[in-house]
Chain A
């Protein structure tokens, strides 16, 4: 009987096609990337081997790379400490409402998450437009002309404007995760806590949140990784500008390859990017493991 769960032929049939696809479309290209990261190449013409020069320049002399990492960190912080708590609070509120209102609101809140990033970005680029965008029109009508600026071009606001677009789009997912997590909370726990005299605050901080730690962990891991992965929104709006104030790694490597014709360097950024993403994920999972063990 056990041997049927060990049947090699079945395992082969089930596992080989998907794994083969992953190796072909993900792992192999990463190796190709690694190869080209040691080269200097414009995309056509001569390929020159230059060893670790790309990496040295990237890790010691690239201001834009550092800035793109910092921008990702800024996004992470806003997501984890602003978007997530709001999403959690709203999810908690929704669990207390009637089924109909809850469903209606959930649907509305999730709509931006269903949209293509092209739609989302072009939408907000139009809203932020200083001449005809609705944001500035409202500000001018409210008499706040001084802050009716070019949101995506001004060095003071460009980064926060694109971060706003990103958290606006991702809010629905965070909400959904927390909501489904909260729905799995057995009612008995709540009642037991109430009987023990706990108030709303204590209920949430001492019981609910620890219970939902796996969900919170999942959301945070996804948030951290997606903060690093931001590409389309920047590519379709500021392209990293003004200067490099809104630059993100994925956009930077794309531009290095296709705009600056530094294909080898772009691949070096790719490789470092993968390493950072994997390392960060492992680090967070370890951190959460420690937290739940305590």
Chain B
């Protein structure tokens, strides 16, 4: 009996020794480093996603032992994931995240973000003010990747079908509703489920009423109140326009992908979104006819309002940040530097995105790209960071919630403003 036990244990010991040795040998042979990334760009075959894949391929050529694994979700889903990952301390090495004061700052405060060296990145041709927007307590916490302009994409063919001219004022838009409806075309679409496009629209309408971008900031810093007349007027204007039918019927349940698809499938004449969607002009998922008829116009003005079309809502967005708790920090930093170096040229070549860095326009640029450059050049004033991103994360959520309720007709403009003001008050105390 005892002999059997000794023999068994000996065999076991030998086997485990062999397994360890083999495992060790394996380890020494293929030291593949996995670099984990995350972003909100699920489409990797076209547009921005394809540009990133190209950069990834370049990186792999420089660092053959690295394997890049990327997780991508739509906007809101990605935000949720980042929060879940942060809670479980499982953030990827490099992530695309944005909106410093509301989304990034909690991560920075939680020591999840690695500070970057400003001097290193300044040589990549960033536009004035772009890097500075990510500086907190004197440290740079992320690199901005896009210059975001708030515009309206239009499908010229649908306008021609309905016999409508491109709108210069919001009154034009409202007037065009019956003509579009007669042809079964949705006049305007945007992502109403997530709410932030509506919040940005609110900012923009306020400016069109008052002629200044300073009002929103004043209300947030409590030098003014959201219950002041200009804010109520802007809210009322939006609610009236929505009731007149300018948006898709299921606005509040259309998420980012759904609204974009409505436009791409040529069911809608206009798409209220940012310059990062310039890739629509080259998106192979949609028909050539759609791409050929795509154009972009400035956010319309309001009749009798003080704001002009050249007052542009624009900010720097889409930051890339480094996970401070990453096990591959040096490699991740190399990746960021490569990204900063390659992104502007690749993105502009592919006509996929509007970088926060300087680009060289070409004759082969799409109409959309040329127009965006023109809109940016003609801008007389710009807004900087939008209102919902100037305060706390809680304020942003309330802002979005209230906008959704406003367009759904659940809340009156007065009540909307009162609740928004209460939220701003609460946020200012934190």
Which residues of A come within 8 Å of B, CB atoms?
A: 42-45, 129-131, 149-150, 152-155, 237-239, 241-243, 245, 258-261, 263
Q: When the two chains form their complex, are residues B405 and A242 in contact, meaning their CB atoms are under 8 A apart? A: yes
Q: When the two chains form their complex, are residues A261 and B106 in contact, meaning their CB atoms are under 8 A apart? A: yes
Q: When the two chains form their complex, are residues A258 and B84 in contact, meaning their CB atoms are under 8 A apart? A: yes
Q: When the two chains form their complex, are residues B410 and A243 in contact, meaning their CB atoms are under 8 A apart? A: yes
Segment from B134-142, B243-251, B343-351 that makes contact with A: B243-251
In the complex, besides A259-B83, A261-B393, 7 extra interface pairs with C-beta distance below 8 angstroms are A131-B248, A131-B262, A153-B251, A154-B249, A242-B253, A242-B410, A245-B410
- Contact partner of B253 (CB less than 8 A), chosen from A44, A45, A153, A258, is A153
Query: In the complex, how many angstroms separate the beta carbon of A211 from the nearest chain B beta carbon?
Result: 45
B404 at the interface (CB under 8 A from A): yes
Q: Bound complex: CA of A45 vs CA of B76, how far in Å?
A: 22
Q: Bound complex: CA of A263 vs CA of B106, how far in Å?
A: 14
Q: When the two chains form their complex, are residues B110 and A45 in contact, meaning their CB atoms are under 8 A apart? A: yes
Q: Bound complex: CA of A153 vs CA of B83, how far in Å?
A: 27
Query: In the complex, how many angstroms separate the beta carbon of B42 from the nearest chain A beta carbon?
Result: 17
Q: Bound complex: CA of A44 vs CA of B86, how far in Å?
A: 6
Q: When the two chains form their complex, are residues B250 and A129 in contact, meaning their CB atoms are under 8 A apart? A: yes
Q: Kindly list the 5 A-B residue pairs having the minimum CB-CB distance in the complex, ordered from nearest.
A: A150-B250, A150-B249, A242-B408, A153-B250, A43-B87
**What's the count of A-B pairs with C-beta under 8 Å?**
83
Q: When the two chains form their complex, are residues B253 and A259 in contact, meaning their CB atoms are under 8 A apart? A: no
- Contact partner of A130 (CB less than 8 A), chosen from B76, B109, B248, is B248
B341 at the interface (CB under 8 A from A): no
Q: When the two chains form their complex, are residues A241 and B86 in contact, meaning their CB atoms are under 8 A apart? A: no
Query: In the complex, how many angstroms separate the beta carbon of A149 from the nearest chain B beta carbon?
Result: 6
B112 at the interface (CB under 8 A from A): yes
Q: Bound complex: CA of A184 vs CA of B394, how far in Å?
A: 57
Query: In the complex, how many angstroms separate the beta carbon of A225 from the nearest chain B beta carbon?
Result: 27
**Interface residues of chain B: helix, strand, loop or mixed (majority):** helix
Q: When the two chains form their complex, are residues A45 and B109 in contact, meaning their CB atoms are under 8 A apart? A: yes
Q: When the two chains form their complex, are residues B397 and A241 in contact, meaning their CB atoms are under 8 A apart? A: no
Which residues of B come within 8 Å of A, CB atoms?
A: 76, 79-80, 83-84, 86-87, 89, 106-107, 109-110, 112, 186, 193, 248-254, 262, 267, 393-394, 397, 401, 404-405, 408-411
Query: In the complex, how many angstroms separate the beta carbon of B107 from the nearest chain A beta carbon?
Result: 8
Q: Bound complex: CA of A42 vs CA of B250, how far in Å?
A: 32
Query: In the complex, how many angstroms separate the beta carbon of B412 from the nearest chain A beta carbon?
Result: 13
- From A149, A153, A155, A237, name the one whose CB has the most chain B CB atoms within 10 angstroms: A153
Q: When the two chains form their complex, are residues B87 and A260 in contact, meaning their CB atoms are under 8 A apart? A: no
Interfacial chain A residues near B397, Cβ < 8 Å: 259-260
Q: When the two chains form their complex, are residues B110 and A241 in contact, meaning their CB atoms are under 8 A apart? A: no
Q: Bound complex: CA of A238 vs CA of B252, how far in Å?
A: 8
Q: When the two chains form their complex, are residues B250 and A155 in contact, meaning their CB atoms are under 8 A apart? A: no
**Interface residues of chain A: helix, strand, loop or mixed (majority):** loop
Nearest A residue (CB) for B402: A243
Q: Bound complex: CA of A39 vs CA of B243, how far in Å?
A: 42
Q: Bound complex: CA of A62 vs CA of B252, how far in Å?
A: 22
Q: When the two chains form their complex, are residues B408 and A43 in contact, meaning their CB atoms are under 8 A apart? A: no
Interfacial chain B residues near A242, Cβ < 8 Å: 252-253, 404-405, 408, 410
Query: In the complex, how many angstroms separate the beta carbon of B391 from the nearest chain A beta carbon?
Result: 14
Interfacial chain B residues near A263, Cβ < 8 Å: 87
Q: Bound complex: CA of A259 vs CA of B87, how far in Å?
A: 13
Q: When the two chains form their complex, are residues B80 and A152 in contact, meaning their CB atoms are under 8 A apart? A: no
Q: When the two chains form their complex, are residues A153 and B394 in contact, meaning their CB atoms are under 8 A apart? A: no
Query: In the complex, how many angstroms separate the beta carbon of B168 from the nearest chain A beta carbon?
Result: 28
Q: A241-B404, A260-B397 are in contact. Are A44 and B87 (CB under 8 A)?
A: yes
Q: When the two chains form their complex, are residues B267 and A153 in contact, meaning their CB atoms are under 8 A apart? A: no
Q: When the two chains form their complex, are residues A153 and B410 in contact, meaning their CB atoms are under 8 A apart? A: no
Interfacial chain B residues near A261, Cβ < 8 Å: 83, 106, 393-394
- Contact partner of A237 (CB less than 8 A), chosen from B110, B253, B394, is B253
Q: When the two chains form their complex, are residues B193 and A241 in contact, meaning their CB atoms are under 8 A apart? A: yes
Q: A44-B106, A259-B397 are in contact. Are A241 and B252 (CB under 8 A)?
A: yes
Q: When the two chains form their complex, are residues B80 and A153 in contact, meaning their CB atoms are under 8 A apart? A: no
Query: In the complex, how many angstroms separate the beta carbon of A44 from the nearest chain B beta carbon?
Result: 4
Q: Bound complex: CA of A150 vs CA of B251, how far in Å?
A: 9
Interfacial chain B residues near A259, Cβ < 8 Å: 76, 79-80, 83, 397
Q: Bound complex: CA of A243 vs CA of B406, how far in Å?
A: 9
Q: When the two chains form their complex, are residues B250 and A43 in contact, meaning their CB atoms are under 8 A apart? A: no
Q: A153-B408, A242-B408 are in contact. Are A131 and B87 (CB under 8 A)?
A: no
- From B83, B193, B248, name the one whose CB has the most chain A CB atoms within 10 angstroms: B83
Q: Bound complex: CA of A261 vs CA of B106, how far in Å?
A: 10
- From A131, A154, A237, name the one whose CB has the most chain B CB atoms within 10 angstroms: A131
Interfacial chain A residues near B83, Cβ < 8 Å: 43-44, 258-259, 261
Q: Would you give 25 A-B contacts (Cβ < 8 Å), ordered by A?
A: A42-B106, A42-B393, A43-B84, A43-B87, A44-B106, A44-B107, A45-B110, A129-B250, A150-B253, A153-B251, A153-B252, A154-B249, A155-B409, A239-B253, A241-B252, A242-B408, A242-B410, A243-B252, A243-B401, A243-B408, A258-B84, A259-B79, A260-B393, A260-B394, A260-B397
Q: Bound complex: CA of A80 vs CA of B221, how far in Å?
A: 52
- Contact partner of B112 (CB less than 8 A), chosen from A44, A129, A241, is A44
Nearest A residue (CB) for B81: A258
Q: When the two chains form their complex, are residues A243 and B405 in contact, meaning their CB atoms are under 8 A apart? A: yes
Q: When the two chains form their complex, are residues B404 and A243 in contact, meaning their CB atoms are under 8 A apart? A: yes
Interfacial chain B residues near A237, Cβ < 8 Å: 253
Interfacial chain A residues near B410, Cβ < 8 Å: 155, 242-243, 245
Nearest A residue (CB) for B252: A242
Query: In the complex, how many angstroms separate the beta carbon of B47 from the nearest chain A beta carbon?
Result: 24
Nearest A residue (CB) for B255: A239
